[in-house]
Each structure stands twice: as structure tokens, then as C-alpha cells.
Amino acid sequence: QTSDILYYEVLDIPLPELQCLKTLKVAFHHATKDEVVIHSIRLSKNSTISDVITDLKTKVELSNPDTELRLLEVFYHKIYKIFPPHEKIENINDQYWTLRAEEIPEEEKNLTAQDRLIHVYHFMKDPNQNQQIQNFGDPFLLVIREGETAAEVMDRVQKKLRVPNEEFAKWKVAFISMNRPEYLQDIDAVSARFQRRDVYGAWEQYLGLEHTDTT
């Protein structure tokens, strides 16, 4: 097909300059607000994750001026990576993955050798696909203490997610490994389930919250 229409775009900076830059779309999750805001961060291709976070801090409202941020790679409601601050941004793909920035909770800053930072995902079983697990919603990280029971962990989860009692009473909690759920009773020690180190990736072994997808 031939066309006699020439399309053009007016850039806000000269093209050679633009070609030396990398633009990343970052979804910022505030610690106490449900609203998620997408920010475009444009930096030199040689910049690092630390530079992205520094730039983002000038654009967002933090719950505390001293709060630290981290950048996560999220795909299909699972966390696949926590970016190290020194990593270069040049090869990061934000078309395929979602880049999520969030505040690091105080409880994560002084971890002991017995504490574990685990992945927590929402899930439901799909009746049309042989009860297969379907993840949904926003995944998150949570510190669990040695000997902490499922009831104690779920109490903290409810406070973190601000779920009303009536709705939360319908939620179930399960340890999920390789997509197989093992439902936990209130008195079960959660940390005992996360002792194995030989799993393929942290996203393959997580604490699952089973409930209906209200979104």
C-alpha cells in the first residue's frame, strides 16, 4: 500500500539526546493509600535502579520523608524480582513486566537470622479449569517470625490490607508450593513451611490468600 501522508511527532528534546535516554513506566504503590499512580521516569541509559528511585522520590508523596523505596518486577500477580540498587536500567523491559515501586515497611529493616521475607499472593480456584489456582490482585512481601502461627500472620495481613472483619472471615490461608495448596490451621507454624531453600524461585513457594476476587 502506498500513502501520501507523512506522520511526525514533535519531541520535547532533540532526537540525539532522546536516543541516549531510557524511559521507564513505574507504578507507585503508597503505603497507606489504595491509589496506584503511574510515573514515567526518563534517565540516561547508564543510570541505575538507585537513580530511578531518587528521581521517583521527587515525584511522589511518601508516608514519611525518611522512607526507603524499592523496585519490584511483577508479572501475572506474582513478584519475580526485587531489583538491586546498582543494576543498570538499560536492559529493563517495562512492556512485558510491571515495574512497581513501594515503600519498604519498618518491620523489614531489622530482620534476624530466624525471620523470613516471604511472598504473599491472592488466589482463587477456577471451577472451569479443574480447580486450578488463579492468582489475582496485588502480590506483596511479608516478614514472618520464627514460631509465628497462621492466626498471628493472618491478623497482621488483615491490618496491612485493611479488610473488614466480615469479609476477612471468609478468607482461607494456604502454603502453596508448585501450585499445590496446603491449607493451614490457626495453630500451624508458618515459618516451618518455608524452610526449604532448593525451590526454583520464590514465586513458586508462597503464602496464598484464598478469597473471591472483589475487583
Whole-model pTM: value is 0.81
Alpha carbons 55 and 142: distance in angstroms, whole number: 26
Neighbours of 32 (CB within 10 A): 7
The three-point CA angle 108-111-117 to 5° equals 60
- Alpha-carbon 168 to chain mean position: 21
The predicted pLDDT at position 203 comes to 55
Instruction: From 26, 44, 54, 56, select the one nearest 88 (Cα to Cα).
Output: 44
The predicted pLDDT at position 202 comes to 55
- Alpha-carbon 87 to chain mean position: 18
**CA separation, residue 130 to residues 39, 144, 151, 164 (Å):** 39, 32, 29, 31
Sorted by sequence, the CB contacts under 8 Å of residue 195 that are 6+ apart come out as: none
Every domain range in the chain assigned CATH 3.10.20.90: 15-104, 107-210
The predicted pLDDT at position 201 comes to 59
Sorted by sequence, the CB contacts under 8 Å of residue 1 that are 6+ apart come out as: none
CATH class of the domain comprising 107-210: alpha beta
What architecture is the 15-104 domain classified under in CATH? Roll (3.10)
Please, what are the averages of pLDDT over each run of 10 residues along the chain (215 residues)? 88 86 89 82 92 92 85 91 92 84 87 86 82 86 90 92 91 89 90 68 79 81
The predicted pLDDT at position 179 comes to 82
121-172 pLDDT tens trace: 999 987 776 768 888 988 999 999 888 999 999 999 999 888 999 999 999 9
User: Is-contact 102 72, C-beta < 8 A?
Assistant: yes
Question: How many helices (DSSP H) and strands (DSSP E) are in the chain?
Answer: 4, 10
- Sign of CA pseudo-dihedral 126, 129, 132, 137: negative
The predicted pLDDT at position 100 comes to 93
Q: Which residues are registered as beta bridge partners of 24?
A: 41
The predicted pLDDT at position 47 comes to 93
Alpha carbons 170 and 166: distance in angstroms, whole number: 7
